[in-house]
Amino acid sequence: MAFTLHNLGENIKRLRERKSSRIKEGRSMLQYELAEIANIPPSSLCNIEKGKYGNPTWVILSKIAMGLECDISDFFQADSFAVDPAKVAINEMIDMIIKERLDILLEERLKKTNRHP
């Protein structure tokens, strides 16, 4: 399975949660705390962790890495996220169903287009 933005976000979140909060003693580092340390908008960090930030730049990732006191390469380690075989199978089935449905829709669209000169 390919490495995705979601995997990147999960890895960053795990690394953040392993760090101690400077604000709340005995707790994991908070999102807004890391965002402040990294000097990025909290909403950007939130979207990155959720895998919804479309194109995180190396500048942003390096700021996050600096805030976490780690290397950017730590964000891309496949070993740092657990792979649930059932989840992989479900995701592959969903991808297959979506592809099949898109193929049908495209075929129908082509048929309609070819009917009209």
Distance of alpha carbon 47 from alpha carbon 98, whole angstroms: 24
Query: What distance in Å separates the CA atoms of residue 39 and residue 42, rounded to the nearest whole number?
Result: 9
- Say if CB 10 and CB 81 are below 8 A apart: yes
Pick out the chain residues at pLDDT < 50.
80-81
Cα distances (Å, whole numbers) of residue 84 to 15, 51, 87, 88, 117? 19, 18, 5, 6, 51
pLDDT attached to residue 78: 67
Q: Which CATH number fits domain 1-81: 3.30.70.980, 1.10.150.110, 1.10.260.40, 3.40.50.280?
A: 1.10.260.40
pLDDT at position 4, please? 75
* All structural domains of the chain with their residue ranges: 1-81, 84-117
